[in-house]
Amino acid sequence: MAWSWRYEDADGKSIEGPTESFGGQADAESWLGQSWRELVESGAVTAILVDDERVEYKMSLLAA
């Protein structure tokens, strides 16, 4: 299993972002916890956690 993140802008369109790959869900989530501010600065508003090609979940990167 290879975990990674995909990103969407405010319109829900896919955008380019870091293409890190992780061995586990916890590693991927830890990385996002450290990197989300930079992602928002680059235009990402949604992060999508993917296990190979299966979407695990989507989450907003913006404050509620």
Q: Which helix (H) or strand (E) holds 37?
A: helix 25-41
Q: Identify any residues that bridge with 57 across adjacent strands, giving them in sequence order.
A: 49
What's the rounded Cα separation, in Å, for the pair 64 and 55?
A: 23
Res 1: pLDDT: 75
pLDDT band at 63 (very low <50, low <70, confident <90, very high): confident
Which class for 47: exposed (0-12), middle (13-18), buried (19 or more C-beta within 10 A)?
Answer: buried
Looking at residues 48-59, what average pLDDT do you find?
Answer: 96
What are the structural domain ranges in the chain?
A: 15-57
Alpha helices in 1-64 (DSSP H): 25-41
* pLDDT, mean of residues 9-34: 96
pLDDT at 52: 93
Q: Maximum CA pair distance of the chain?
A: 32
Tell me, what's the pLDDT at 17?
94
| Average pLDDT value for residue range 12-40 | 96
